[in-house]
Structure 1
Amino acid sequence: MSFNKIFELSPSIRYVSLYADGNLSTAQRQDLANASSSDSDKYEELLVNPTLLKLAKQRGDIDCGGARYVIVGYGHFHQLVIDRPNGHVSVCFELDENPIPFVERILSLL
């Protein structure tokens, strides 16, 4: 997957990560204000985001038709985490951008 194609969707995309089959790949725009550390991002992708998706999917599977994505509204940005069969894709947006309209466009690039 080319991260460049996802970055081309909007200048408000700050960061892209793909976690698939136990492998993590990430890319970040240069010169970001309020960027989190790469170590923090790594553990978010390996621990936090898979756990959030697991919780949402288990709840969604009860009587909501599953769960396709989770959005975390951090203080400095929005983190969109989209479930994939073998992992997840994570895309971070500036606060002024609504991530929901990008879900299908991101999936079409995977």
Structure 2
Amino acid sequence: MAKSLDLTFSALSDPTRREILSMLLEDDMAVTDVAEPFEMSLAAISKHLRVLANAGLILQERRGRVKWCKLDPDAMQAAWTWMQGFGQFDHLDLDGLETYIETTLRDD
């Protein structure tokens, strides 16, 4: 489970990948449509999509010649369960979680 959480949080750490996930909340999208709003190459977007797929956050499939991306609605369940282990979050206490994570990473 720890490796799965590492992959999830690593994938979520990048703002481009978070934006892609937000876009996929609306509907499945072709890779070219995902790439359209970003000022980067299709190859760079494909790398971001690969990270999201390796973390299990999205699914990719070919439909004819087009590669489609789909959000996996259950993908963040393990991360959500882990975070709930810290109890109810007050929106102001997210700084405390960040400090805890940074401290834990420094200790490893």
Normalising by the residue count of structure 1, what TM-score does the alignment of the two structures yield? 0.25
Normalising by the residue count of structure 2, what TM-score does the alignment of the two structures yield? 0.26
Q: Which has the larger radius of gyration?
A: 2
Higher helix share: 2
